Structures are given as structure tokens and as C-alpha cells.
Amino acid sequence: MTEQNKLEKIVSLCKRRGFIFPGSEIYGGLKGTWDYGPLGSELKFNLKQSWWKYMVHDRENVFGVNAAIMMNPKVWEASGHIASFTDPLVECKICNERFRADKQEDIKEHEEMHAKKKQKIAWTEPKQFNILVEAKLGVVEGEKTTVYLRGEITQGVHVNFKNVVDSMHPKIPFGLAQIGKAFRNEITPRNFVFRSREFEQMELQTYVKPDEASAMEVFNEMKNIRMQWYLNLGIDKNKLRFREHAPDERAHYARAAWDIEYETPWGWDECEGVHHRGDWDLSRHGEFSGQDLSYFDRETNERFIPWVIETSGGVDRALLFFLLDAYKEDEKRVVLKLHPKLAPYKAAVFPLVANKPELVAKARQIFKDLKMTSLNIAWDDRGNIGKRYYSQDEIGTPHCITVDYQTLEDGTVTIRDRDTMKQERIEADKIVNFIEDRSKGF
């Protein structure tokens, strides 16, 4: 298996096994959009839940926000996205297809395609293209307002800074977290869910005192916290690294920026960004809204505009990297070695054979009892046991439980481990403890 065909294999597995489908597929699709199917939704839900627990519940002074996607258009003027949220774009003069001028590999690939047809390519000069997605809001034709689908989830947090301070009275430094959809008119969506036009972000904005030492302390701590989250969920540490942005590479709001990168089949690429946003957001929203967005520190009796240290990760990107990392195959099987916390199903229950009513009844009772716990459990009675193991390995189910004749006699079942393929016999009423024990560590 080469690295590039690993991505193709993941795309095919995701479609075949109900993880991710092309968006609006029956109508010929919509470029840059993807729909999550039954198993993909579970995986995504587990990933977001793990992020929320680790970044919000496990920390003091971190609160959640869930802001509207549609916001007053002035937000995007204040945030600088209308003026500066641009990518340099070039257009092929033969077929009018547009590419990001800074993505040399895409341009080269396109040139090679034309060269094979013996066509001599020419490009337009690069021009800046705003990637905010516009929408029209309102019911009266001619009086509709242009709004923007949020280009980053961040602004929904900053515009609520005053509301949170007034209602929760947090002590600085404190954090506001959000997970939600963002939209960008990406010029060249590609690499499956890596770069799409609709995607989800998970972000923590930490408000700190406006001095470089406090800000950099939180910045460096945040880099390590975020790296640790990926490692805790089992990603190969050799496939992750930090990379500092060069000054000309940083977003318009960033005073310092580091990415966490993953080694993808197409090379090292961005997974998440940690940004020092200074007072950019609160100052600008204060200025554009006319509201006082300062913070009064009761300990020092000082009033100031806090600075912001942000960590911003892509849910879909992280999910893709977890899939790429977990995908293993040998001559006998394909297995997704997902961390048990992420796996869509924690276990699958089988009757040894499907045509013995007493075995099926016992297996269904165990299945129903397990479903009433916090675990998501699958049922499978198709084909033989070997085929069922194969099928569950391919979707990353960590445990398979078989109910056989001995179960009817002594209440024990066999439980098979996805990674080692070893089987043990345990009492049916110990299954939950057994599974939880093996998912520990995070």
C-alpha cells in the first residue's frame, strides 16, 4: 500500500461502510461538501465530545459558547475578514479553472494535465479573492440583506465577550470554547475532507492580561496541551510536529502563529493553529459596535482590553488524520485501530449462529442490556463469525462478543480484541467493566 493510495482506500472505506459520502451525491454532488453517514456521525460526535471534555470540563475557568452562524454583517467588517480574508487566485486561460497561486503542487498537476494533451498553458496574473461565503437574508425581494456564513467560528465568541463577563464574572485568564460549522469559498477544495467549503472547527479563545509574558506563557502551554490531545488519542507521535508561521504567512490578526502538522500522504500539512491574536478582536469590535469591551481586574484594580490566545482545530481534518493513522491492512484483514474513545461502536454482539432461537434470544438480551449503558453497541448475525470479525475490524470496533452454547449453561461469553485478535471468556455481567477498563487512559 503506497501512501497516496492509502487516502484512496480511506475514501472508499468511508463510502462503503457509511462514514462519509460526497455531498448531494444523487444530484451529481456539490464540490467541497461532504455528508457524514451513520458511522461517520458517531466518530465525529466522539471526537468532539473528547475535545470538549479535555478542553472545557477538565479545566477551570473555561466556559462554552454556541453562537449563531448568521451574524450581523458588521461583525465581518470589524474582524477584518471583508478586507483581508483573501487567497491569491490564478485562472487557467485554457479552461478557466481557478487555483490558489500559493499552491504550487495543484498548479503543476494542472499544467501536466494540459501538457499531456499537448496544450501550452497560460495563467492570469494572481488577484486576491475573498473567501467569505455570501447569503441573502430576508423575505422581501429587493430588501434582502447580504450576510456572510461565518468564515471562522471565532467571532461568535468575541462578540459575546461582554455577555459572558457580565453573566459569569470569570477571573482572568479565562477561556471560551466553541465547536461549530464554518464556511469558506475555497478555490481548490481537495484531499477529501481536508479542505472543504463547509467544515467544522473546535476552538478555545483564552483571554489574558495584555502583557507579552502572560500571553506567551499561555501560548506555549496551549501548544503543548493541544499536541497532547492528539497523542492521548493514539496518533503516532512521529507523524505530528509543530511548525512556526513565517511573518508573511500569518493571518491578518495574528502576532504569532504555530501549526500542529500531520504527515499526510501528500506531505506535512496543517491540522490545527495556535494563534496570538493580541487585542485585535476586542478592540475592533469595541470600535465598530461602540460598546465598551474592556475588562476590570478586581485584583489589581486595572481596566484593560484583554489579549487573546487562540487554538483552532478542524474537526474534519482531525477526523481524517485519525482515520489515516488508524488504517492498517495485511493479507487477511483491514483494520481501523481507532482509539476506543473514538470508535463508532465500542463492541458488537453476535449469536454464534443465527438459526438457533435460544442463542439468538440470549444474545439479543445481552445486546439490549449493553445498549442501556453508555456504550454504543452493534448487532450482527449475518454470515459466519469470521466474516463478522472482518466487518467489525474494518470499522474499528474494539471488541466482538459471541454468545454460544456455553453462554446458555454458565452465562459466560467470548470477547475478542480487535488489535490482538485474542479471545477471552468472561461473565456476561462483567462486559461493561471489561470494555471500560480497556478504554481507559484518557
Compare residues 132 and 348 and give the one whose CB is closer to ligand GAP.
132
Q: Which stretch binds ligand GAP (CB under 6 A): 23-31, 268-276, 279-287, 405-413?
A: 268-276
281 binding ligand GAP? (CB under 6 A) = no
Write out the binding residues for ligand GAP, residues 201-260 only, by CB under 6 A: 201, 203
As measured in angstroms, the least distance from the Cβ of 44 to ligand GAP is: 13
- Single out the residue of 272, 325, 380, 404 in contact with ligand GAP (rule: CB under 6 A): 272
Q: Which long-range contacts (CB under 8 A, 24 or more apart) does 246-250 make?
A: 250/275
d(CA 164, CA 158): 10
d(CA 157, CA 204): 9
184 binding ligand GAP? (CB under 6 A) = yes
d(CA 224, CA 227): 5
196 binding ligand GAP? (CB under 6 A) = yes
Assign 101 to helix, strand or coil. coil
As measured in angstroms, the least distance from the Cβ of 441 to ligand GAP is: 25
As measured in angstroms, the least distance from the Cβ of 272 to ligand GAP is: 5
Angle, CA of 369, 338 and 7, to the nearest 5°? 135
Compare residues 269 and 369 and give the one whose CB is closer to ligand GAP.
269
Describe the strand order of the beta sheet including 127-130 as a list of residue ranges: 98-100, 86-91, 127-130
Q: Which stretch binds ligand GAP (CB under 6 A): 9-17, 39-47, 122-130, 269-277?
A: 269-277
Q: Which stretch binds ligand GAP (CB under 6 A): 40-48, 196-204, 338-346, 420-428?
A: 196-204
CA distances from 187 to 101, 108, 110, 252, 301 (A): 10, 16, 14, 19, 49
152 binding ligand GAP? (CB under 6 A) = yes
Write out the binding residues for ligand GAP, residues 369-388 only, by CB under 6 A: none
As measured in angstroms, the least distance from the Cβ of 117 to ligand GAP is: 30
351 binding ligand GAP? (CB under 6 A) = no
- Which residue intervals of 189-309 are DSSP H helices? 212-232, 280-289
Contacts of 70 (CB under 8 A, 6+ apart): 135, 137, 147, 149
Compare residues 22 and 369 and give the one whose CB is closer to ligand GAP.
22
As measured in angstroms, the least distance from the Cβ of 10 to ligand GAP is: 16
Report the length, in residues, of the chain: 442
87 binding ligand GAP? (CB under 6 A) = no
Contact 61, 173 (CB under 8 A): yes
Site map 305..324 versus ligand GAP, x via CB under 6 A: -----x-xxx-xx-------
199 binding ligand GAP? (CB under 6 A) = yes
**Hey, CA dihedral for 266, 268, 273, 275, is it positive or negative?**
negative
Q: Residue number with the shortest CB distance to ligand GAP? A: 314
d(CA 233, CA 79): 34
d(CA 15, CA 18): 5
Interface residue list for ligand GAP (CB under 6 A) = 152, 154, 184, 186, 195-196, 199, 201, 203, 270-273, 310, 312-314, 316-317
